[in-house]
Amino acid sequence: MDMNMINISRNFFWILLLNFTLIAQDNSLSLKNDNAQVSEDGSIAVSVLKNDGIKDKSNLLLEIVEKPKFGTTEIKGQNIVYTPNANANGIDVFKYKVDIGTANGIAQVRINVNAVNDAPESVTLDKNTVKENQPEGTVVGALVVSDPDEGDVFTYELARDGSRDNFRIDGKNLVTKQAFDFESQNNYTITLRVSDSDKESFVGTIIVKVENENESPTLNKKSKKLFHAENAGKIVAKIEAYDPDSDQSGVKFKLSESPDKGVFKITRRGDISFLKEPDYENPLDQNKDNVYEIAYKIIDSKDSKLSVGGSATITVTDEMETEVKSLDQRKFISWTVDHQPYHILMEESVLKYMSLRSIDETDDEDESSNQIKELKPTDQIILVQRKDNNKEIHEIWYGNGLDYTIIDREKVDWVFSQDIQDVLLERDQYLNSTSETVFHGSENERLIAGYGSEFSVWHSSNFKFSLASLSMRSNLLQYAANLRVGNQLIGLSGMIGGSGEFGVATHQSEFGVRLPFSFDIGTTGYDNETSLLSADYGGLYARGNIESLFATKADFHGLMGFTFYPSSSKKLSSPDLLADTTKWQAVEDSTVNLNILDSYALIATTVQVPIKVPFIGRFTATPGYHFIKVAHRLKDTRIQAIDAGQDLYERTFFNQVYTAPVDSNSTGSYTYESLNDEGNSYTSLTSFYFRFEITGQIGQKPNFIERLSFMDFIKISKVPFYEFSFQTITGLNSIWSIDLNVSDEIGISFTGLSKNADLKGDWMPENKFWFGLNYRANF
């Protein structure tokens, strides 16, 4: 029984194995591979079942099991459509599977994609920029063609739209036919045709950009021959130069080594300019023949290595000059007309004469001679008379103190009636003052003298203002009003001088009052402002000048002033004498030290030091004697002291310091310093005075300033560029001052003060510095 069961199971196993083998053989479908070919960019429908001998296709399924490498497939019915990628060619393969339900199989299709020539698709340059100013034949870059056909050969042709005017083709390279200028045109569009080996072509455009290069400046004329009249001013001519680069607006100018380099400068604008006004009679050129040779460079503003050179020959020509010659003081006298009605009368006479001259067409007077100009209300009038003839006027001068018109003896009778002349000759009947202007030896001396000095009370400009003073001159009354804070001449600048001064001045003198006001502008504060000379009290002052004392060209100066202030109740040699021992602290808190300018005087004489230095117009020395008295007071501000009239005490000490008691059994005490060894309640100094002033040439800057282009904003013609003064008063202090004029109207100043170490008291600061602004004008 057991054996039969075993045999039955064994037979059943072999039957199952045979059935599975038969089933597996029935499911395997034998398929044949296919071959096809198609042209590039075409497509083909492959009938993949045609050679496979499948009879029953009712349940047939067809699918792609491996995609082609460079194409796409699509099943349409029992065909497979193959399409290669654009411009792809070569052998491609894909596989497909067929399933008929009872069997399936896989086969492949091999496609031969035949190559077809394609037209070029684009053309570019591997480098499309070229620097400006490069020579003809410069390679811009190589042409790069995009073509689906690898290894194709191309030919190139430029279009006839202007592309051939600027470029040409050399092999694969684009080459220039000219040098380009960035500023004229900075890019070019080129049209060209690219053809391959089968004559397929593409027309495209490329852009060539011109790169900007920093170029050297351009000079219109490298050599100039110029003629310049001696009275035509400093500027000779303008150098016509420019920078061709659009991103640079200007060039730099520089004089090169040349025979007469030191006489000229070139301004920022490119003007060739003399440093000083040329003078035909006094040539400054190397050969002394009024022919100046200079060379110069025009330099690029970004690169100093880029430059162009030029030269100029400048010939100074002689011109008729209206030189004002000085008169002999031994033979003539002169005075100013300060009486306003006479001034107006003379103005009208000059206008009438000018009117008649303008309509008199028959007058053949030489126009190059000194002409009569309008007499302005602000002009100074100077009458000149021969000492041996007091019956007539020899000459009449009028001008602004710097420039004068002269009416000579011949024209005086034409311009002014005899009645007017007779009135003018009666000089003791109207306001006038002696004048030295006509006796100065040169025009430069006359200009300097007209400019004045620190001692002047009458200024050539009728309006003068600074941070510490104000001066106004009336055109109607011919008087001036002067207002100032401090007095530098006596060593008391700014608030150090105490009360301000206001006075009325004529040409040579000034009288006024000291007013209770004071201020300081343009300086730092004071350590102890209350210790300065008090501005609480007024007084009187006077100034006087005598020009050319005893016909010696030495000027005499006198200054004096004093202050009105209350008398003192008694003299204190120690603060203890005022203090109440039970209330010392209260007294200390209510007392104030006062320093009062009691009086001052200065007598000095100014003489000119003979010195010939190009940049110095005038060098003066002023020795003299100086006196100053300062009263020292202690003011008690308590009500009971003021009511009792005992609020002001003479004081012989300063710098007093109160020390409070340490306990109830002790008393407070003072420490202090004595003002002087004599025990006086005042400081009185009689000192030697010395002051010197250096003034530059009128209307001239020093050569080193002239050569600095950035200093061209300084334009002066009627004032010096600089003034320097140093003043010392023995036992008191030293003061220096520098004034710099940037125009005829505006200037700046710097002033410094140093106290004498032996001066006792705290009414004079150890050191002080002021900055000032100055303005002058004629209204």
Lookup result for tokens 């401090």? 486
Query: Cα angle at 636 between 630 and 637, to 5 degrees?
Result: 120
Model-level pTM? 0.67
> How far is the C-alpha of 143 from the C-alpha of 161, rounded, in Å?
19
Question: CA-to-CA distance for 686 and 691, rounded, in angstroms?
Answer: 16
- pLDDT tens-digit profile of 377-387? 878 899 999 99
Q: Determine the pLDDT at residue 23.
A: 44
The share of the chain scoring above pLDDT 70, in percent, equals 90
DSSP for residue 135: P
Cα three-residue angle 743-372-480, rounded to 5 degrees: 50
In this predicted structure, what is the pLDDT of residue 369? 43
- Whole-angstrom Cα distance, residue 719 to residue 137? 64
For residue 444 the two structure tokens come to 């430069």
For residue 502, what are its two tokens? 């206001």
- Cα dist. 388→147, 238, 273, 391, 408 in Å? 116, 54, 48, 9, 17
| Contact in structure between 245 and 183 (CB atoms under 8 Å) | yes
Task: Evaluate if residue 638 carries a pLDDT over 90.
Answer: no
pLDDT tens digit sequence for 680-704: 999 999 999 999 999 998 888 888 8
Closest to 48 in 3D by CA, of 25, 74, 13, 16? 74
Q: What percent of the chain has pLDDT over 90?
A: 28
Is the pLDDT reported for residue 582 higher than 60?
A: no
- DSSP-based three-state secondary structure for 645: coil
Section 13-36 average pLDDT:
63
Residue 160 has pLDDT above 50, yes or no: yes
The DSSP string of 467-515 is SSEEEEE-TTT--EEEEESEEGGGTEEGGGG-SEEEEEE-SSEEEEEEE
pLDDT confidence of residue 661? 73
Domains and CATH numbers, the chain: 34-114 (2.60.40.10), 122-211 (2.60.40.60), 218-317 (2.60.40.60), 332-357+370-439 (no CATH), 463-562+603-634+682-777 (2.40.160)
Token digits of residue 259: 């025979």
Residue 8, strand partner residues: none
Say what the pLDDT of residue 289 is.
92
Q: Report residue 597's pLDDT band, with 50, 70 and 90 as the boundaries.
A: very high
Question: Is the pLDDT at 361 greater than 60, yes or no?
Answer: no
Residue of 376 and 728 predicted with greater confidence: 728
Residue 639 phi/psi, 5° resolution?
A: -60, -40
What pLDDT digit, counting tens, does each position of 528-557 carry?
877 889 999 999 999 999 887 766 678 899
The pair of structure tokens assigned to 168 is 């040409």
pLDDT band at 5 (very low <50, low <70, confident <90, very high): low
The gap from C-alpha 162 to its chain's centroid, in whole angstroms, comes to 49
pLDDT score at 565: 92
How does 105-138 read in b/e, with b if 16+ C-beta sit within 10 Å? bebebebebeeeebebeebebeebebebebeeeb
Q: What confidence tier does 12 reach under pLDDT thresholds 50, 70, 90? A: low
Rounded to 5 degrees, what angle do the CA atoms 555, 560, 563 make? 165
| Rounded CA separation 231/317 (Å) | 9
pLDDT band at 404 (very low <50, low <70, confident <90, very high): confident
Element (H, E) at 6: helix 2-27
> What is the predicted pLDDT for the residue at 373?
87
Assign 713 a pLDDT band (cuts: 50, 70, 90).
confident
More confident residue, 369 or 678: 678
